[in-house]
A = this chain, B = another copy of it.
Amino acid sequence: MTTMRLQKLREEVLEANLELVRRGLVLYTFGNASGISRENGRIAIKPSGVPYENLKPEHIVLTDLEGRVVEGDLRPSSDLPTHVELYRHFPGIGGISHTHSEFATAWAQAALPIPCLGTTHADYFHGPVPVTPALTETEIADDYERNTGLAICRVVERLGPEEVPAVLVAGHAPFCWGPSSAEAAHHAVILEFVARMAYHTLLIKADAGPLAAELQTLPP
């Protein structure tokens, strides 16, 4: 039973990773998606450095909620500690995706939130997509990936993980999440799309105002 459930989780996580590729969000082995089985206390995550075209369910690494590998011969993605912090802080999160997708990453590099300029954005993110503060020298030197996770968690605690299912890590790239790894990947795709459109909008009109508050909170 557990075996079957974890096998299914691995397949879902594989599929979420492949969705990132199909939608043009990853270059080479960049990016990763994970999922969690809270019943089994297991996180399933993409291994590090395996080309997506060779990825099979058995390559997906299983860890416990501390990020210790439990099953799998491969090294988990180096971003695992960031995923772990998010899963530990927010019980509602069932899957996480991380990409260096072109426009969302540009906003992260600019260290600016993506403003909510239209209904496409509002239907998914209900307001600006926030950005973490820059990490301190100590946070970088100490444990960059874990401290990245903690920085994201501090931002999300203010907003709620359902309200804005994505955060930009300043100088790095976005992390997204959702009830499942499929929805985490879906949010990464939408995020890239609204990041492109916000970019174009502000190049058309530098002082484009945010969408009316009423539209930001419309039910989808």
Contact = CB atoms under 8 A, between A and B. Distances in A.
A75 interface: no
Contacts of A120: 30, 100, 105, 173
A112 B206 CA distance: 12
Interface stretch (A10-18, A32-40, A58-66, A212-220): A212-220
Interface in A179-220: 186, 189-190, 193, 196-205, 208-209, 211-212, 214-215, 218
A118 interface: yes
Interface of A: 27-28, 30, 100, 102-103, 105-112, 117-120, 134-135, 137, 140-141, 144, 171-173, 186, 189-190, 193, 196-205, 208-209, 211-212, 214-215, 218
A106 B201 contact: yes
Copies, count:
4
A33 to B, nearest CB: 17
A110 to B, nearest CB: 4
Q: Is the interface of A mostly helix, strand, loop or mixed?
A: helix
B212 A134 contact: yes
Contacts of A173: 118-120
B214 A112 contact: no
Contact of A215 (B28, B107, B110, B171): B171
A211 B102 contact: no
Q: Which 8 A-B pairs have the closest CB atoms?
A: A106-B200, A110-B205, A109-B201, A109-B118, A110-B204, A109-B117, A140-B214, A106-B201
A171 B118 contact: yes
B212 A135 contact: yes
Contacts of A203: 199, 203
A204 B117 contact: no
